């Protein structure tokens, strides 16, 4: 932050999203947005590092030279339930947020923001239909699911000035797509691995897997993608 390295602690919870406090100035930062909401640095924003939530198998395949966080040695953490995700899903939601019946409060969504326009894509929809093509913030985008409905990525569907239309190409591997325009096959990392566009790379869009109740607090104008009945 402005040439100074901040060190963070947990400082509290704001409507079920953590607050962090930096040692250096004592400011409070909102976890999900990286925005300082109170204290001397109020109004400042941390730079977001692009992250990706995928299975370890896929990550290691894509990053063989990478490194992995080692579990803590003291290991109270081992007693931490292996079912944490399921148990968290049953925790109550009591927040000061907009009431909105579009989705269940704890529905897991994939959030995308393009040119200031936010949209939530329910994971349940992506598990039923992938890829999903949509218009958002004046762009055509494509969202795709992989790793048995657990990993999600989004790309700008425009390549070389032309908007490509994507279809599933599961026979070419989990998360693979084929574009109708050129017939090229694209893998889950957005790289064309076969066909005329082989070697080209789609522009990745940042996605955030979040609970609906949390997403709509920080994106009050968000749209929601609803799968038509079929």
Partner 1 sequence: MPESLSTKGSPSTLLAVLLALLVLSVMVVVLLPVWLIQPFKPQSSGALAWSFWLRRWSPMFTIGALLAGGVLAGVLWQGVRSPWRKALIACALFPLVLSVWASRQNHFEWMFAPLPNSSFERAVRTDFVSPSDLVLGIKVKEDAVAFPVRQVAYHHLVQDDAGGVPIVATF
Please state the closest distance from residue 97 (CB atom) to partner 1, in A.
8
Whole-angstrom distance, CA of residue 47 vs CA of residue 113? 16
Please state the closest distance from residue 171 (CB atom) to partner 1, in A.
21
Indicate the length of the chain as a whole number. Answer: 230
Using DSSP's 3-state secondary structure scheme, residue 220 falls into: coil
Residue 11 lies near partner 1 (rule: CB under 8 A): yes
Residue 12 lies near partner 1 (rule: CB under 8 A): yes
Residue 101 lies near partner 1 (rule: CB under 8 A): no
Residue 86 lies near partner 1 (rule: CB under 8 A): no
Name which of 16 and 129 has its Cβ closer to partner 1: 16
**CB neighbour list of residue 107: distance below 8 Å, 6 or more residues apart:** 122, 123, 124, 211, 212
**CB neighbour list of residue 110: distance below 8 Å, 6 or more residues apart:** 120, 121, 122, 123, 126, 143, 152, 154, 207, 208, 209
Please state the closest distance from residue 42 (CB atom) to partner 1, in A.
10
What x/- string results for residues 39 through 68 when contact with partner 1 is judged by CB under 8 A? x------x--xxxxxxxxx-xx-xxxxxxx
DSSP symbol at 171: G
Name the burial class of residue 147, with classes exposed (0-12), middle (13-18) and buried (19+) by CB atoms within 10 angstroms of its CB.
Answer: middle
Residue 14 lies near partner 1 (rule: CB under 8 A): yes
CA distances in angstroms from 154 to 25, 210, 214, listed in the order given: 36, 15, 20
Please state the closest distance from residue 131 (CB atom) to partner 1, in A.
20
User: Which of 35, 95, 113, 191: binder of partner 1 (CB under 8 A)?
Assistant: 95
User: Which of 3, 77, 101, 116: binder of partner 1 (CB under 8 A)?
Assistant: 77
- Calculate Rg over the CA atoms of the chain: 20
| Positions in the binding site for partner 1 (CB under 8 A) | 5, 7-16, 18-20, 26, 28, 31, 37-39, 46, 49-57, 59-60, 62-72, 76-77, 80, 82, 84-85, 88, 91-92, 94-97, 147, 150-151
């Amino acid at each position: 932050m402005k040439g100074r390295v901040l060190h963070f602690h947990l400082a509290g919870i704001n409507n079920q999203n953590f607050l962090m406090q930096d040692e250096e100035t004592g400011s409070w930062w909102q976890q999900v947005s990286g925005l300082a909401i109170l204290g001397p640095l109020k109004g400042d924003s941390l730079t977001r590092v692009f992250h990706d939530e995928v299975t370890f198998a896929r990550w290691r395949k894509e990053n063989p030279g990478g490194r992995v966080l080692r579990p803590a040695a003291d290991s109270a953490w081992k007693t931490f339930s292996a079912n944490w995700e399921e148990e968290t899903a049953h925790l109550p939601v009591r927040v000061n947020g907009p009431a909105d019946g579009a989705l269940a409060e704890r529905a897991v969504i994939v959030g995308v923001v393009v040119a200031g326009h936010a949209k939530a894509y329910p994971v349940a929809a992506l598990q039923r239909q992938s890829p999903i093509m949509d218009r958002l913030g004046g762009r055509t985008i494509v969202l795709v699911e992989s790793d048995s409905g657990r990993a999600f990525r989004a790309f700008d569907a425009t390549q070389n000035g032309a908007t490509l239309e994507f279809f599933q190409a599961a026979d070419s591997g989990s998360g693979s797509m084929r574009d109708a325009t050129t017939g090229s096959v694209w893998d889950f990392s957005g790289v064309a691995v076969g066909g005329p566009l082989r070697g080209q790379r789609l522009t990745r869009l940042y996605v955030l897997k979040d609970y609906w109740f949390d997403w709509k607090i920080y994106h009050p104008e968000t749209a929601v993608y609803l799968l038509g009945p079929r």
